[in-house]
Structure 1
C-alpha cells in the first residue's frame, strides 16, 4: 500500500515562507528578562539559538509506560515523529503524561481517564507548545488525550501505537482478550483443564501493541481516524509493521504544517465528524465504550452529542468488518484487507457516510482521503449486501429500569436473546457476584437475567469492565453459552454476549437498578429499545425510597478516604453524559498563563 499519498496535503513548509504568530513566541520571542530565562534554561539541553527563531514548537504528548504494555514501544515511535517534525522545520519537545493502561491499573483505567485528561490539558496550556502530537493506544489513553487537547483547542494530531500481531495457540489465530473470556468459560464448564487454559497465555500477546481484536483500543483508533484527527490508515497498521513508523514520521511533518495553518481541533471535531464516527462504529462492530468516550470528547469541544444520536445515526447500519469478538478475523487481516479507508469508501459509495465533506487533519475531506481506497478481501471487509450483522448499530435502551438510557452491542449478542423476558438473579455488587455465581444452589436457569448493581461511575468507583458477567458454572456444564446480563458497569470491547451496560442512572446514584430484587421479571426488547422492570410505579418508588446512595459499597468505602477517588465520586457525571467530571466539561482555550518571573 502506498501510504504517503494520503499523508501530506501540502508540500513541506520551511520557516522562510511565513512567520505566523505562535504561542511559543510568548515564551521565547522576547529579549527581556523572561525571554532570557526561558531560552537559557532550555539551552541546558544543548539546544542552539536558531531553534528559538520563530519556528513551531511541537509537543509530543507521550503515554509511554512499561506499566502500560500496549504503549511500551512508544519511545521508538516518538523518535520517528521527531524526524518528521525536524524535516518540516519544527522543533519537537517530548513530554510524559499519566498513562492509564487498562491491563494493569486497578480498580479501573476508567477511574483515571479524566485525571489523565487534566494532566494533558494543563501540560499543553502551561507550556510553550504551538501544536501537539498525541501518542496514545491503550483503551483510555486515546479519549483522555483527545479530551485534554480539545479543552485547550490547539492544532493536534493522533498517532496510535497500533494493534499487536495475531495471537497464536495450537495452530490457530487467537484474539487478545476475547480468547480469555472464551477459555475461562470452557474451564468453568469442565471442557478444558487448567494447563490448557494457561497454555494460551504466552501466545495471546506476542508483540508490542494494543489488543488485536475490535476491542476498545482498536475501536478508539478507528474513531480517531473517522473523526478526522489522524492520518489515513492510522487505525489498523500493526504496531511492529515498519509502516507504523512511516505514519509517525508523516504525522510529524503534518503537525508542523497544521501549526502554520492554525488548524485547531475545533475545526476538525465538528458535529459532522462525530456523526461520521457513530456510523463508522456500527460498520466496524465497535466497542460500547465508544459511546461514553465520544460523548466526553464532544463535551470538551462543545458539540452536543446525545444517546439518541447513536439510535438515529447508527441503527440500521450493517456491520461489514468481520473481526473478533463479533466475527472471525483480527486486526492484521483488517489492515491487509485495506483498513478503515476501505470501510469508509464502502459506506460512502452507498451514501452511508453522513458527512463526506468533513475536514480531516491532512487538510482534505474524509471522502477525498478514501474515495479510491482499495479493498483486498471481501471476507474481512464485507460487501454491504453480505454483512456480518444486518443492523450493527449500538442499541440504545430506555424504560423504567434505565430512564436515562442503557446500551447493548447487537453484533456481539445472541440474536434470540435480543427480545427476552426473564426472572432477575441479583448481585448487589461485583464482590457479591464473585462470591455467589459458583454456588450450586443458586436459583438460576438459562432464561434468568443476571443483574449486577453498584458497578457504575460512582459505585465501583470508576465503572469497571465487569458487565460481561461469567455465566454460572452449573449452566455452562449444561451447554448454556449466553444469557441476558444487565448492569451499570461497562465491558471490555474484546468481550461478547447479550450484555446490557451503562444503565443510567446507576444504582449508587439512586437509579432504578438499585430497586431490582431476586425474582423480579425484566423485559428486554432491543428492536423497540425497551428495558422494563415489571413492577408498578408505586412499588418502584417505594423501594427506591429505602435506598441510600451514600451507603453503596464503593461509595461508602471511598468517601471517607479523600484523594482522587473522593473527587471523582463527588463530581463524575453519569454514563449517558460521558462520565467526565462536571467541572471539566467545556473548552477553556489555549490562552497563555501569566509568567512567574
Structure 2
C-alpha cells in the first residue's frame, strides 16, 4: 500500500475551475453543502438497500446515519444513494431473479457518480452478493456493512428460528399433529425485531462470507441488528472507508482466489447455505477470479461443521454472536491449521489471522464446538456429478439425514412446481419413504429465476406415518433456513435440455454423497433417446427484464450471472461536457 493518497475520482467532477466543475459543485450546494466538504476530500458513497418492502433491511436508514458519522470523522464526505432492494420475503417469484438487476444498478451508480469509495449496506440474502458483484465490477475501495440478524424468535417460551420454524410447523400441521391455530400462533413471535433471519440461512451465511472474504470488519456478520454494537461497527466502517481510499485498497486486492478459498472452508465450518455456492461464483466472476465447483470439493470437503445453529443444529444467531461470532470460528480453524490462507488481506489492512488470532471463544464449546466434537464431521458442501448432473449439483451435509446420503430409490416425478403442488398431497400418489422426489423446470431459465422450492414438502400421508425426510432432487435452490437430504442446482437444468428433463416416473436413481455420484439408472443410449424425444421448449417472448434474464442467465455451476456481466470493467467513465 502506498503512503501517498491516490488521485480522487471525485476530482474529475468537483476539482476543475471550468464550466463543468462550476455546475457539479453548484448543484451539490443546493443541499446546503459548503464548498470545502466535497472538494479535496474522499467522497464515500453509502449504497443503501433500505426498503419497507424488504423487512430485513427496513432499519438501514439508522445504520446509514452512523456510517455517515464515521465518514465525516475520518475526513471524508458521505453521499447516500439508493439501489434496487430485492428482499426474498416479499418479492415474487424470487429475489434471485433480480439479483443481477440489482448488481447492474450498483455498478452503474458507482461508476457514473463522483464516488471515491463505497460502503455497501446489505442484509436480506441477495443484497449481499448483488452489491459485492456490482462493486467488484468497478473495483473501487468498498466495505460491507450488513444489517445483522433479528433477535431470537419466541413461541411457547422457547426460542424459534426465523424461516426454519415455518418449515417445521407446516410439516407438523400437514401431518395432523398440530392445528391451524397453533401453526399461525408462531407467526408474530418469529420476527420480533429488525434484521435478517436469525438462523444460519442465506442472509447470515452471506454475511459470514463477506467477513470471511475480508470485505467487512471483524464481527460484522453476527452482531444482532438491534444491538448498539451494530451502530458502532457502522461508524467504524465509515471511518475505514475513507482510509481505504487514501490507501488505494480496492476490492481486487481483497477478493483474491485465496480469499474465496478461505470462504469455502468457513462455509463448511458454519453449516452455511448452498446458495453461497452460486453467489461466491458470481462475485468471483466479476473480479476475475477463477472459482469452480471442484474448488468446493477440494477445499470444503473434510471440514468439520463447528457452529451448532439452526437449521443444522440447535442455536440461533444471538447465541452465535455471544459465543464469539465468526472471529471465534476463524480462530478455532486457524489453531488447527484449517484456514487455507491465513495471510489473506482484509479491508482493515490486516490479515485474516491477525484479526482473529486472539478472539475470545465463549459458551463452553456448545454453540461453537471444539474440533474434536463437531456437529458434523464433514460439513463441506457435497458436489455431485453423474449422468443426471453432468455440470454438477450440490447437497448440504449438515442439514441432511446421514442414512439417506447413500440411497437408491425410484423417482416420483413432477414436471414443474405447479404439478408438485397439485400432486404431492394426493392420497393416491404412489410414493414411499424410499422414493426420490424429482422436480424439473425450476432452474434459472425454467422458473425463471431459480426459486427456493427445492426443499419440497413431503407427502402428507408419509408425514402422518412419521416420515421426516426423503431424498429430493431438482434444478431449483432452497432457502438457507431449510433442511433435509435435498439435491439442488442440478446443471444443466431441465429447461436448458439437461438430463433431468428425461427422468420418468419409476426410474431408479442412485445418490452417493461420499463418492459425489448422482446417477440415473438407465443406459446412455436410453438417456440420449429420451432427450431426443423431448420437444425443445418454445422460446418465451415475454419481454422486459425477464426476457433479458432468460436469454442471458448462465447455469448454476457458473453462478447464474448474465453472460455479458462477467469480468471487471473498472471505474473509468467517459467525461461528460455540459
Q: Normalising TM by the smaller chain, what interval?
A: over 0.9
Q: Where in structure 2 are the equivalents of 1:502-541 lying within 5 Å? A: 502-541=489-528
Equivalent residue, structure 1, for 2:198:
212
Residue 99 (str. 1) matches residue 85 (str. 2): yes
What displacement does 1:51 show?
Answer: 1.3
- Aligned to 1:67, the other structure's residue is in SS state coil
1:150 and 2:132 are equivalent in the alignment: no
Give the C-alpha shift of residue 594 in structure 1: 2.2
Q: For residues 472-522 of structure 1, what are the alpha-carbon distances to aligned partners after superposition, in whole Å with 9 as ceiling and x for unaligned?
A: 000000000000000000000000000000000000000000000000000
Deviation at 1:20, TM superposition (A): 3.6
Instruction: Tell me, yes or no, if structure 1 residue 571 matches structure 2 residue 552.
Output: yes
Matched, 1:47 2:28: no
Structure 1: 4+ residue segments shifted above 4 A: none
- TM-score by structure 2 length? 0.99
> 1:29·1:52 contact (CA, 8 Å) conserved in 2?
no
What is the DSSP-based 3-state SS (H/G/I as helix, E as strand, rest coil) of the residue aligned with 1:502? strand
1:523-562 paired onto structure 2 within 5 Å? 523-551=510-538, 559-562=540-543
> What residue in structure 1 maps to residue 336 of structure 2?
350
Listed as ranges, the gaps of 5+ residues in structure 1 are 1-8, 11-16
Would you say the 8 A contact 1:214–1:286 is kept in 2? yes
Match for residue 299 of structure 2?
313
Give the superposition deviation at 1:327: 0.1
Give 1:146 shift: 0.1
- Map of 2:215 onto structure 1: 229
3-state SS, counterpart of residue 491 of structure 2: coil
The 2-side partners of 1:281 and 1:424 are apart by 31
Quick one: distance in 2 between partners of 1:45 and 1:191? 60
1:444-455 correspondence to structure 2 within 5 Å:
444-455=431-442
Matches of 2:126 and 2:574, distance apart in 1: 28
Match of 2:188 in 1: 202
Structure 2 distance, partners of 1:72, 1:85, is: 22
Which residue is 2:427 aligned to?
440
Aligned residue runs from structure 1 range 121-200, under 5 A: 121-200=107-186
Deviations, residues 18-40 of structure 1 (Å, cap 9, x unaligned): 66410000000000000000000
Q: What is the match of residue 3 of structure 1?
A: none
Distance 1:542 1:282 in 2: 39
Task: Provide the residue aligned with 2:370 in structure 1.
Answer: 383
For residue 482 of structure 2, give the secondary structure of its aligned residue in structure 1: coil
Structure 2 match to 1:255: 241
Residue 324 of structure 1 corresponds to 310
Equivalent-residue separation in structure 2 for 1:590 and 1:522 (angstroms): 49
Identify the residue that residue 394 of structure 1 maps to in structure 2.
381
Which residue is 1:412 aligned to? Answer: 399
- What TM-score comes out, normalization by structure 1 length? 0.96
- Aligned pair partner of 1:369 in 355, 360, 371: 355
SS state at 1:513 partner: helix
Q: Any idea what the Cα deviations from partners look like across 1:425-448, whole Å, max 9, x if unmatched?
A: 000000000011010000100000
**What whole-Å deviation, never above 9, does each CA across 1:454-486 have from its counterpart, x for those lacking one?**
000000000000000000000000000000000
1:240 to 226, 230, 253: 226
Give the Cα separation in 2 of the matches to 1:194 and 1:594: 62
Report if aligned partners of 2:214, 2:346 keep a CA contact under 8 Å in 1.
yes
5+ unaligned residues in a row in structure 2: which ranges?
Answer: none
Q: How far apart are 1:560 and its partner, in Å?
A: 1.8
Cα-to-partner distance string for 1:224-269 (whole Å, 9 max, x where unaligned): 0000000000000000000000000000000000001110000000
Deviations 1:106-155 (A, max 9, x none): 00000000000000000000000000000001010000000000000000
